[in-house]
Amino acid sequence: MIELEIISCGPATSLQDMGRPGWSRIGLPSAGAMDPRALRLANELVANDPGEAAIEMAFTGLAARVSGGPMHAAVAGARTRLRIAGRAHPENESFVVEAGETLEIAAMSDGVYAMLAVEGGFAIAPSMGSRSLDLRAAIGGWQGRPLRAGDVLPLRRHPAARQARAAPVPLDLDVPVRVVLGPQEDAFTERGLQTLIGRTFMASPRMSRMAYRLDGPAIERRPGVEMISEGTMPGSIQVPPDGQPLVLMADRQTVGGYPKIATVISTDLGRLAQRRPGQSIVFQMVSALEAREIACQSQLARNAVKPVGFGENGQPHIDAALLSGIGDAVVDAVDFETWEYVAAQASAHR
Amino acid sequence: MSVLARPTAFESDRKPLPSASPKVTLKPAGDCGLLVEVAARIAPDVQARVLQLDEQLGRVGIPGVIETIFGYASLLVIFDPARTDYDALTNTVRQLSDEPVTPRRPVRRWRIPVAYGGEFGVDLPTVAAAHGLSADAVVTAHAGASYTLAMFGFLPGFAYLSGLPGTLATPRRTSPRMKVPAGSIAIGGEQTAIGSIEGPSGWHVIGRTPLRTFDPQRYPSTVFATGDEIMFEAVDPEAFHTLAARAAAGELVAERIS
């Protein structure tokens, strides 16, 4: 069996695929790659299904050794440098690592998230229909937890595809992030809305797979607005009483009680995820209709869609064999307000 | 020991559903979401509408609709914009919301064991003091009421209940705890909840159930569903530990009443 042994990696390194839709109604976020474009490209470079699970790295890279046979792999997303057995290799071009050789992925120089996909994928059982790590439920990923040094991941057998090359995932750091106003735009003053659309925000160090807190001008809310907790979307821009917006990301809490001034469109959420602390973010308003048209055109529409759950307790029908891969990890380092577990640790490794 | 009222005290027995159904408001939530707001209040008739709408949408099966998320007074429909006819979706939701809210198929009712106070509910004295009640009176009031599971969220399987007696409403703790045990029964403001897995909490923990309410290795992974009615039965620490051992062995230690 071909295996990949992790020699070193950052604390926010995890297996992610296109996520776990269908379970939000019982409080599980969809999870999945923070930049789905990177997942898709890395997989395409090694002739995988675009949604095959891959290793997601945040800020940091990793070092890993291959055993049992050659590994055909690719890295896409944030900008980094690769070395295979000490030899430099260009990004966005797939590569072969022979048994006994070491792959080194340097810390990200631009962007936050990069994906390492291996041809054939990892031979790891999905959990509740997905291999994406859900840190809070301690399911998915590798044994329900982030990857760490010493982990040995089995690869599936596969026919060897040709090596491939592609243009990198655009980071578009100067391109505005498009949003649809609402659902609670009424909870904000005219000035508040103009602040969101007209002013420049900055990604803050308080970022995690759950949410990105933005620094910048406070967004003015109307006084006395009362909210009843309701469902949230990846991309929801919540504004707590202090006026500092919070963009919900892949591992979001599925319900929330803060008013949401706008929602980042699904096509642009991956681009937002790549902004590093201190980099600027400008929001541009589009209509809901435009946003849906953009989604249709961008081919980013989820490829792992499932119908509304109508099995027992309203949960998705699922093969019992998929309900495995449970780990023993518990969440033990989160900020109660924001659930940040990435930023504090990741910044130390940058 | 039991401080339970009989099942006839359940909310849906006492209050007939109103015939007039509230009008819904539809709001886009980005390109993949439709928020269906039933009303701006938490009330049994509103909740009944939300539940019925979810059930109807599931039955109709609109292409491209991926999932729905319950709020106390809303339903968020998540869809794939490349596969969903948005106008058909909104028209369907409007039509379904014009239908009267009819009593649902038999409601599932559960009685679940809870050890109140002591190590299980460290904030019971605080809650009692806040209301000038004895700890026993708080337990009697909490276990004597019937609740409806309004929604899940915050943590996987974490169940928000409606029906907390107003006399027990207690503002949240000023400093949250980083970890409270799985199965904690807590009060936060006017809400009460059944915890699922270990996690942080800013609510007052008044007890704990030995029931494993959420287990991702089980299908379905939650014992309860939205709309279920729940009552608590106070048990002593000894019974808690016995039940916890049985729950750890895979037994469902909740009693299904109907």
Q: What is the CATH number of the domain that holds B243?
A: 2.40.100.10
Contact A295 B214 (CB under 8 A): no
Give chain B positions within 8 Å (CB) of A329.
Answer: none
- What does the DSSP 8-state code read for residue A173? T
Domain extent at residue A218:
177-286
Q: Per the domain annotation, does B6 fall within a domain?
A: no
Q: Which residue has the tokens 């690869």?
A: A155
Residue with more model confidence, A188 or A158? A188
Residues B77 and B194 in one domain: no
Residue A277 within any structural domain of the chain? yes
| B42 vs A183, A228, A336: nearest CB | A228
Q: Does residue A347 surpass a pLDDT of 50?
A: no
Residue A196's pLDDT band, with cuts at 50, 70 and 90, is very high
Q: Mark which residues 106-135 of B lie under 8 Å from A by CB.
A: none
Same domain, A7 and A156: yes
- What pLDDT score does A241 carry? 87
Contacts of B24 in chain A (CB under 8 A): none
What is the per-residue pLDDT across B4-43, written as a single tens digit (0 to 9) for each? 333 344 544 444 445 445 589 999 999 999 999 999 888 8
Is A188 found in the same domain as A166? no
Q: Pick from A182, A309, A334: which is nearest to B67 by CB?
A: A309
How much of chain A, in percent, has pLDDT values that exceed 90? Answer: 74
Same domain, A281 and A214: yes
B50 and B124 together in one domain: no
**Are B187 and B128 contained in the same domain?**
yes
**Last residue of a domain, which of B75, B98, B121?**
B98
Q: Give the integer Cα–Cα distance in Å for A142 and A124.
A: 7
Q: In chain B, what residues touch A330 (CB-CB under 8 Å)?
A: 198
* Beta strand extents in chain B (DSSP E only): 25-28, 33-37, 65-70, 74-79, 109-116, 147-152, 159-162, 177-180, 184-188, 191-194, 199-201, 204-208, 229-234, 255-256
- Taking one residue from A and the other from B, the number of pairs with CB-CB distance under 8 angstroms is 210
Tokens of A314: 């309203």
Q: Are residues B83 and B115 located together in one domain of the fold?
A: no
Tokens 């948005």 — which residue? B86
User: Would you call B239 an interface residue with chain A, using a CB distance cutoff of 8 Å?
Assistant: no
Strands A95-97 and A54-58: unpaired
Query: Is the domain of A204 the same as that of A234?
Result: yes
Specify if A319 maps to a domain: no
Residue to substitute from A254, A266, A289, A337, interface B, most B β-carbons within 10 A? A254
Instruction: Indicate if A158 and A200 belong to the same structural domain.
Output: no
Is B72 in contact with A228 (Cβ distance < 8 A)? yes
**Domain carrying residue B218:** 109-256
Domain check: are A42 and A75 in the same one? yes
Is B249 contained in some domain? yes
| Maximum average pLDDT range among A282-296, A330-344, B96-110 | A282-296
Sort out which chain B residues have CB atoms less than 8 A from A289's CB and list them.
86
Residues in chain A: 350
Do A38 and A105 share a domain, yes or no? yes
CA neighbours within 13 Å on the CB side: how many for B195? 27
Q: Give, in order, the Cα–Cα distances in Å from A28 to each of A128, A134, B107.
A: 10, 8, 24
The two tokens of residue B77 are: 């429909």
- Looking at the fold, whether B187 and B242 belong to one and the same domain comes out as yes
Q: Are B201 and B228 within one domain?
A: yes
The alpha carbon of residue B64 is apart from the nearest alpha carbon of chain A, in Å, by 7
Contact assignment for B81 to A139 by CB distance below 8 Å? no
Final residue belonging to a domain, choices B39, B72, B98: B98
Give the ipTM of the model, two decimals please.
0.87
Question: Do B219 and A23 count as a contact with CB atoms less than 8 A apart?
Answer: no
The residue from A260, A286, A312 where one domain ends is: A286
Higher pLDDT, A211 or A320: A211
Q: Which of B98, B117, B145 is at the close of a domain?
A: B98
Q: Do A158 and A199 belong together in one domain?
A: no
Q: pLDDT tens across B152-184, in order?
A: 998 999 999 999 999 999 988 888 888 999 999
**pLDDT, position A252:** 95
Residues B185, B62 share a domain: no
Number of domains chain A contains: 2
Chain B interface, mutation test: which of A127, A134, A177, A308, most B Cβ atoms within 10 Å? A308
Chain B CB contacts of A127 below 8 Å? 216
Shared domain for A126 and A200, answered yes or no, is no
Rg over alpha carbons for chain B, rounded to the nearest Å, is: 19
- Round to whole Å and give the CA distance between B143 and B3: 7
Q: How many domains, chain B?
A: 2
| Residue B74 included in any domain | yes
Note whether B168 and B48 are same-domain residues. Answer: no
Q: Are residues B46 and B119 in the same domain?
A: no
Please say whether the beta carbons of A299 and A266 come within 8 A.
Answer: no
Name the closest residue on chain B to residue A184, using Cα atoms: B27
Task: Give the CB-side neighbour count of residue A175, counting CA atoms within 13 A.
Answer: 13
Residue A134 maps to a domain: yes
- Which tens digits make up the pLDDT trace of A19-77? 999 899 999 999 999 999 999 999 999 999 999 999 999 999 999 999 999 999 999 99
| One domain, residues A15 and A71 | yes
* Contact at CB, B220 and A182, closer than 8 angstroms: no
